Structure 1
Amino acid sequence: MESSSSSSWFIAIVSFCVIFLIRTIFSTKTTTATLPPGPPHIPIITTILWLRKSLSQPELFLKALHTKYGPIITLRIGSHPAIFIADHSIAHQALIQNSSVFSDRPKALPTVKITTSNQHNISFASYGPTWRTLRRNLASEMLHPSKIKSFSEIRNWVLETLINRLKSASESESADSVTVVSHFHHAMFCLLVFMCFGERVNDEIVSDILRVQRNHLLSISRFNILNVWPRVTKILLRKRWEEFLKLRKDQDDVLIPLIRARKQVKESGLNNVRSVVSYVDTLLELELPEEKGKLSEDEMVTLCSEFLNAGTDTTSTALQWIMANLVKYPHVQRRIVEEIRDVMGGDDNGEKKEVKEEDLHKLPYLKCVILEGLRRHPPAHFVLPHVVTEDVVLDGYLVPKNGTVNFMVAEMGWDPRVWEDPMEFKPERFLKDETFDITGSKEIKMMPFGAGRRICPAYNLALLHLEYFVANLVWNFDWKVPEGGQVDLSEKQEFTIVMKNPLQVHISPRI
């Protein structure tokens, strides 16, 4: 019985491979001649080899291909070509000059459909009315300057909590050093939880939210195999499917009660006069044009999860990289302190312990440090894939309709044709260009937040958080390498590109 069943599955899989091979051969005849160059393609086998490489530093593989074939290359992964761009001018041509054509997303894979409620979030939604509605809601209701300012009190509370945690850790931990990344992540997460749900939830609930979000982020790559012939994997890999679905259920169990509690507060009219408008408040009022109805709880869970992840991991990762460089290069740290002292008046030991948000625009060198941190250590080395909605010629090559286009963010920020000594940490380079545009509207030199219509809508909020926390961390503490230690800038891939060896520092109150 078992032998007969195994034979049937083997025949089915072989038949599927033969059909796929025939389709691929015939579908590539009209396009391969004009596609960007790339390595030879063997249907099925190339995809398997790529999937194996993608598990271990795909950038090294892609960099080697770009060195051999040029700044725009093609890989055949599945039924549509995947194009990789490592050149800033070609990226500008695509994302700015042809923005409408390059603004769509790939059709969601089976696991992505579940985690995004069938692409009902800003990151993965297809380019159209639903995406515009979701993005407009976030931009106008949460990211407008007046809305951002309404959260200044909670930012101050999070800052005070972070400073107290760091001070306590520096006084109690052994080896005269503190591993700071967990403190950074906790601070950013608490801030985003408040912005999302409008309440200071207790530590137990914060821990529950953090647990389900981290479990989802750090294990999601394990489930990529489920997208290969899902009808087969749902049988052969049933336990892994169950594990994946449990991750989503855990999110529902933790986030839905918070959404319902906020809804009850709004409906009861007991909202505190001083309370802010949270992200959930805006979602409860939102109606989608294509569905002609309000969001389901499942869709709100997806959007809240996106809000928490996008604002926490990227910012805490960037914060750690920036502070690592301030420890490694003490002269940069001293210059920030001197600039703050000039703005604040008096000395470090005076009464002004907090750098206010309204002071940040007076600190140009601080802004240069933040930009240099994002250039040298972008939290994501790729933006999410784009899909073209029609055939388009890019840099003399055909990008066919439904082809995916990937942009190598780190490579653009390290391009020696654009940046002198690109692998060095030199904030001064941005002093020469006081009007540097992080959006890349006129020219893309780096794109840590993406560019064009799909640029991260919260980039201004991220910059504010980085400036505010870096300024206050160096104003309150002196950051040094522990005795006998060093700052290792090696990288590893998690949800973001993090420090392979987390930053350990000796911190002391600045007197």
Structure 2
Amino acid sequence: MFIFDILLVLIFIFLVRWNRRLGHLSPLLPPGPKPLPFIGSLIAMLNHKPTFRWIHGMMDEMKTKILCIRIGNVHVITMSDPKIARELLKEKDEIFTSRPDCMSGYLTSDGYLNTSLVPMSDHWKNMRRIIATQIVSVSGHKWLQNKRDQEADNLLRYIYNRCVTNVAVTGGVVNVRVITQQYTSNIARKIMFGSSFFGTGSADGSLGKEEIEHVDSFFTILGYTYAFCVTDFFPWLRWVTDFDGHEKIIRNAIRTARKYQDPLIDERIQQWKDGVKTKEDDLLDVFINLENPRLSVDIIKAQILDLMIATFDNTWNAIEWAIAEMINKQTILEKAMSELDALVGKDRLVQESDLIHLNYIKACVKEALRLHPMAPFTLPRVASRDTTLGGYFIPKDSQVIVSRLGLGRNPEVWDDPLTFNPNRHMNGNNEVVLTDHNLHMLSFSAGRRGCPGVVLGSTMAVMLLARLVQGFTWEFPPNESHVDLKENLQNLCKAKPLLALAKPRLPQHLYPTS
């Protein structure tokens, strides 16, 4: 018996040492706050809003480019190192192709019927192929150019009318946030439904109450999708209460957006059934007539909402910030105007065919996307198996997000990272593109879950800035000498909408007036 007890003790000591050896050899989780039993870092997350600033604050405090936060049983991994981001989005993209199952994703996608928010599935594979080949293809982009051109003209018309008094063309104070949101949302509606407005719009050509409500619903949906909702990490709570109120807010926003969109979709489907409609004029027509597979009405509605939000997302915010930065640094604005004057001239309006040559304009857009991203993180990806990133252990089912802020403002990558400097993107005579192959910044995402609408998004953003800079000078409003560049605490938008004095700089006959 005594020998047996000694043998058990020796086996125990051997196992302890072996486990320690394995633990020493195995990679550890990334650094992060010490989690509490069961709930993890939930209390800290709730006590530090907004969550994205708390996360970035911890990364700075702990001096780490990869952070692990456990909330409930879920490990949330955040990174701001381009090398680790490349490992995630390029080398190990296949492992991280899925999305988390969460309340906001489920509701926004109408039960995972869209593309961007759907966990890994055959439906996602089919829709990804359809979107890439039928909806945002190169041929489709050319087909819809006339609709984008119309909105570029409408933009000039609206601003020009703000500059006209009863006796002369002088200048007018313009809310740049309003005009950029108007441009992007009008294009989204135009290419999707064939019309800029749900109603009649306002008398001056700006958004009507219906469109304003529609845009506001998008902004709310964007703000609450994957917004660290408590019930996403403790799903059983959804049966008890809407713990932090997120579900009510996002349900109301989705209901508002679909209140305007769904009746148009139902009406159009009926028109095709009745033979009233026989020619495809916009993307809704394309969706309705898709074959192999033919889409259900519910899938069409979910896809339309998905694409509308994606089209609206980045452009308006980047260009508002770009104009704000350029007004504060008139030398940058003057250089942009000089490029347009030299390559396009002042006797015609800049067109999409000119954009390939406008490297400095594109550099200004890219710099705005670097310094002022719309969202602090990429949409989360889920690890399909245990793996490693940056030498750290990443458990299966971890949610991994890349910090757009951390990449774009990384002082180890960018000189003077908080300064708006488009010259950093100029590379001799090589064409400037808004994407970054090295992932030193993320204007759009990458990999299998990357944004399929890169061409559309890039075209809209560059065209918007080109028309604004070619068509008008931009100055401080009367009695002001500086643009306040503070960020909103709750998001990355400019804290106050940009008001600027616009003055026409082209011959009067070039401005659309009808």
**Shorter-normalised TM-score: what interval?**
0.7 to 0.9
Map 1:257-268 to 2 at 5 A. 257-268=263-274
Question: Which digits, 9 at most, give the CA deviation of each residue in 1:448-501, with x for residues without a partner?
Answer: 21222211111221111111111111111111112332211111266x621101
Relative to the length of structure 2, the TM-score reads 0.82
Map 1:77-88 to 2 at 5 A. 77-88=71-82
* In 2, Cα distance between equivalents of 1:335 and 1:316: 22
Contact 1:439 1:452 in 2 (8 A): no
Question: Which digits, 9 at most, give the CA deviation of each residue in 1:317-373, with x for residues without a partner?
Answer: 11111111221211111112111111224xx3x3x1x10111111222112111111
Alignment correspondent of 1:9: none
Q: Secondary structure at the match of 1:74?
A: strand
Question: Which digits, 9 at most, give the CA deviation of each residue in 1:410-461, with x for residues without a partner?
Answer: 11111122111111111111112636665444x2211121222211111221
Q: Secondary structure at the match of 2:500?
A: strand
CA RMSD in angstroms, aligned pairs only: 3.2
* 2:160 is aligned with 1:178: no
Question: How far off its partner does 1:56 sit?
Answer: 2.4
Alignment correspondent of 2:67: 73
Structure 2 CA distance for partners of 1:452 and 1:510, relative to 1, 3 Å:
same
* 2:277 is aligned with 1:282: no
Contact 1:491 1:497 in 2 (8 A): yes
Q: Greater CA radius of gyration, 1 or 2?
A: 2
Contact 2:34 2:41 in 1 (8 A): no
* In 1, Cα distance between equivalents of 2:80 and 2:57: 9
Contact 1:188 1:311 in 2 (8 A): yes
Amino acid at match of 2:355: L
* 2:137 is aligned with 1:136: no
Contact 1:37 1:69 in 2 (8 A): no
Map 1:8-23 to 2 at 5 A. none
Question: Which digits, 9 at most, give the CA deviation of each residue in 1:240-279, with x for residues without a partner?
Answer: 6667545444444322211122223333444476x53x23
2:157 is aligned, of 158, 164, 168, to 164
Q: Secondary structure at the match of 1:383?
A: coil
* In 1, Cα distance between equivalents of 2:148 and 2:476: 28
* In 2, Cα distance between equivalents of 1:224 and 1:188: 29
Question: How far off its partner does 1:80 sit?
Answer: 1.9
Alignment correspondent of 2:424: 429
Question: How far off its partner does 1:170 sit?
Answer: 4.1
* 2:189 is aligned with 1:193: yes
Map 1:86-125 to 2 at 5 A. 86-107=80-101, 109-125=102-118
Structure 2 CA distance for partners of 1:471 and 1:245, relative to 1, 3 Å:
closer
Structure 2 CA distance for partners of 1:67 and 1:250, relative to 1, 3 Å:
closer
Question: How far off its partner does 1:223 sit?
Answer: 11
Question: Which digits, 9 at most, give the CA deviation of each residue in 1:128-169, with x for residues without a partner?
Answer: 422222222222223222211222222222122222222333
* In 1, Cα distance between equivalents of 2:237 and 2:68: 29
* 2:338 is aligned with 1:338: yes
Question: How far off its partner does 1:225 sit?
Answer: 5.2
Alignment correspondent of 1:218: 220
Alignment correspondent of 2:138: 145
Amino acid at match of 2:112: Q
* In 2, Cα distance between equivalents of 1:104 and 1:69: 29
Amino acid at match of 1:218: T
Amino acid at match of 1:314: N
Unaligned runs of 5+ in 2: 1-21, 166-170, 202-207, 507-514
Task: Indicate the larger mover: 419-428 or 55-64.
Answer: 55-64
Task: Indicate the larger mover: 142-151 or 87-96.
Answer: 142-151
Structure 2 CA distance for partners of 1:200 and 1:489, relative to 1, 3 Å:
closer
Amino acid at match of 1:487: V
Alignment correspondent of 1:318: 318
Structure 2 CA distance for partners of 1:54 and 1:132, relative to 1, 3 Å:
farther
Question: How far off its partner does 1:127 sit?
Answer: 2.6
Contact 1:50 1:77 in 2 (8 A): no
Amino acid at match of 2:495: K
* 2:414 is aligned with 1:419: yes
Unaligned runs of 5+ in 1: 1-28
* In 1, Cα distance between equivalents of 2:395 and 2:240: 35
Task: Indicate the larger mover: 324-333 or 234-243.
Answer: 234-243
Question: How far off its partner does 1:388 sit?
Answer: 1.1
Question: Which digits, 9 at most, give the CA deviation of each residue in 1:376-407, with x for residues without a partner?
Answer: 11112210111111111222111111111111
Alignment: residue pair count: 469
* 2:248 is aligned with 1:254: no
* In 1, Cα distance between equivalents of 2:47 and 2:469: 41
* 2:444 is aligned with 1:449: yes
Question: Which digits, 9 at most, give the CA deviation of each residue in 1:195-221, with x for residues without a partner?
Answer: 112345453587435524523642764
Contact 2:326 2:332 in 1 (8 A): yes
* Fraction of identical pairs, as percent: 24
Structure 2 CA distance for partners of 1:491 and 1:44, relative to 1, 3 Å:
farther
Map 1:475-486 to 2 at 5 A. 475-485=470-480, 486=482
Q: Secondary structure at the match of 1:177?
A: strand
Contact 1:479 1:506 in 2 (8 A): yes
Q: Secondary structure at the match of 1:319?
A: helix
